């Protein structure tokens, strides 16, 4: 039956070429489309996490619901050694955030002022790379301020701003700070409300020695993040909790899930069209061959053998098309992972979601390519089911007399 199927493929050239081309196009574009979708989502996540968020953060359990100084990590020395012993971490650091009012001569704005270890932040975040003017690792009463905040206050490098807030013990803080550096990450809200100060001077002003709002860490491999987070969580004091990026970046996770959902709906519609076109061509081909198939059955060929004949035909065409489409699709996915497409203005469109790059890379993932291929393969085999059932609705005599 296999040899006969091969002969039929060359004999019915129109149907064969149509099936081959449609399968090739469907498989190739499906692999490339999914790789671009996954790549863009992975790039968005990478941008957002590497700018500042990190892949996990440790808080006092009530802080994220209650807030305030009453729920700080009171003793860093109980927690930081645990991060130091944990394998698979790229970097970690302690941060302490406070909120207050920053004022220039004529303007005021609410800001989030954070005390950080600038040396550790170089390995952990993109703050240094975001430097626009001035210095990054400033000392003393210097601020490393978001460009958006500076614009709202109408100040620049070398100007002074006053800050009014409260220390960790709720005492009143009123200080005059110099602007020693300006940064721009591309994350709109972040740049418009954030300023940073070296931790040593920050602690002297806000009385926060050995305390943290949270401890942030970044892993070497994102796929190991949940496992490492669970390892750290099991060793933490009972009043502390680990939050992974999935919780910290909930809005982005929901955005990518929604985007994936609509992306797959588009692909389903595309595949439905391809599926029915292939099935219709198969049905037309089988309808024109009813008499031929009836003769085969009349001379003793079983229904099962006839069904296998039709199955072999679609199988040969599908495997041949996939043998060409899969390497092409995989190469395209790999190439654009190494050489991402650049779409000018993309980061401006999605800056509120943390997109700080105009690049759109693909994601080369052999497992994803495999299931993409298996889906196309399965749909092609499914397309021959109705034509096979149609041929079985005729008796051999009816099939021979069929016109």
Does residue 102 have a pLDDT over 90? yes
Contact between 74 and 83 under an 8 Å Cβ cutoff? The reply is: no
Q: Three-state SS for 70?
A: helix
Q: How far is CA 371 from CA 34, 57, 257, 262, 334, in A?
A: 11, 34, 19, 19, 17
The pLDDT tens digits of the residues spanning 241-265 come to 999 988 887 777 777 778 778 888 8
395 compared with 365, residue with greater pLDDT: 365
Distance (Å, whole) CA 271 – CA 292: 31
Distance (Å, whole) CA 190 – CA 361: 25
What is the DSSP code string of 344-400?
A: TTHHHHTGGGT----EE-----HHHHHHHHHHHHHHHHHTTHHHHHHHHTS-HHHHH
Among candidate residues 113, 120, 103, the one with its CA nearest the CA of residue 206: 113
Does residue 107 have a pLDDT over 60? yes
pLDDT band at 343 (very low <50, low <70, confident <90, very high): low
Q: Mean pLDDT across the stretch 202-223?
A: 92
Quick one: tokens of 221? 């491999």
- Tell me what pLDDT residue 370 has: 92
| pTM (whole model) above 0.75 | no
pLDDT band at 355 (very low <50, low <70, confident <90, very high): low
Q: What does DSSP assign to residue 299?
A: T
Q: Mean pLDDT across the stretch 152-168?
A: 94
Does residue 217 have a pLDDT over 90? yes
- Tell me what pLDDT residue 403 has: 56
pLDDT band at 348 (very low <50, low <70, confident <90, very high): low
Half-sphere exposure of 186 (CA within 13 A, CB side): 21
Rounded to the nearest integer, the mean pLDDT of the chain is 85
219 beta partners: 89
Does residue 346 have a pLDDT over 60? no
3-state secondary structure 149-211: HHHHHCCCCCCEEEEEEECCCCCEEEEEEEEEEEECCCCHHHHCCEEEEEHHHHHHHHCCCCC
Quick one: tokens of 346? 């993309």
Segments making up each domain of the chain, as ranges: 2-49+252-401, 62-238
Contact between 180 and 142 under an 8 Å Cβ cutoff? The reply is: yes
User: Per mean pLDDT, which range of 84-93, 353-362, 391-400 is the poorest?
Assistant: 353-362
Distance (Å, whole) CA 124 – CA 227: 19
Distance (Å, whole) CA 333 – CA 61: 42
The pLDDT tens digits of the residues spanning 38-84 come to 887 777 777 777 778 889 999 999 998 888 899 999 999 889 999 98
Q: What does DSSP assign to residue 72?
A: S
pLDDT band at 350 (very low <50, low <70, confident <90, very high): low
């Amino acid at each position: 039956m296999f040899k006969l199927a091969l002969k039929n493929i060359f004999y019915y050239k129109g149907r064969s070429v149509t099936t081959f081309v449609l399968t090739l196009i469907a498989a190739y574009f499906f692999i490339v489309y999914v790789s671009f979708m996954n790549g863009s989502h992975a790039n968005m996540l990478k941008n957002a996490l590497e700018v500042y968020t990190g892949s996990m953060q440790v808080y006092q359990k009530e802080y994220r619901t209650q807030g305030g100084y009453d729920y700080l990590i009171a003793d860093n020395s109980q927690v930081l050694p645990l991060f130091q012993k944990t394998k698979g971490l790229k970097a970690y650091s302690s941060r302490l955030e406070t909120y207050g009012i920053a004022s220039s001569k004529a303007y005021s704005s609410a800001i989030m002022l954070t005390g950080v270890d600038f040396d550790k932040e170089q390995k952990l975040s993109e703050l240094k790379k975001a430097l626009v003017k001035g210095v990054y690792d400033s000392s003393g009463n210097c601020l490393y301020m978001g460009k958006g905040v500076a614009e709202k206050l109408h100040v620049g490098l070398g100007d002074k701003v006053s800050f009014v807030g409260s220390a960790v013990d709720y005492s009143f803080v009123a200080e005059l700070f110099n602007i020693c550096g300006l940064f721009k990450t591309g994350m709109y809200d972040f740049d418009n409300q954030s300023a940073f100060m070296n931790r040593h001077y920050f602690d002297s002003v806000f009385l926060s020695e050995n305390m943290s709002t949270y401890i942030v860490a970044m892993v070497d491999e994102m796929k190991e993040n949940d496992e490492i987070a669970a390892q750290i969580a099991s060793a933490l004091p009972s009043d502390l909790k680990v939050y992974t990026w999935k919780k910290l970046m909930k809005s982005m996770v929901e955005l990518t899930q929604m985007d994936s959902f609509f992306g797959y709906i588009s692909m389903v519609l595309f595949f439905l069209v391809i599926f029915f076109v292939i099935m219709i061509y198969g049905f037309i081909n089988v309808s024109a061959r009813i008499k031929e198939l009836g003769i085969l059955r009349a001379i003793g060929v079983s229904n099962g053998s006839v069904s296998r004949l039709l199955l072999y035909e679609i199988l040969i065409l599908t495997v041949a098309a996939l043998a060409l489409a899969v390497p092409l699709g995989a190469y395209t996915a790999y190439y654009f992972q190494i050489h991402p497409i650049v779409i000018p203005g993309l980061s401006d469109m999605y800056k509120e979601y943390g997109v700080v790059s105009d690049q759109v890379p693909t994601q080369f993932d052999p497992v994803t390519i495999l299931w993409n291929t298996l889906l196309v393969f399965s749909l092609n085999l499914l397309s021959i089911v109705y034509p096979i059932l149609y041929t079985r609705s005729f008796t051999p005599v009816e099939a021979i007399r069929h016109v």
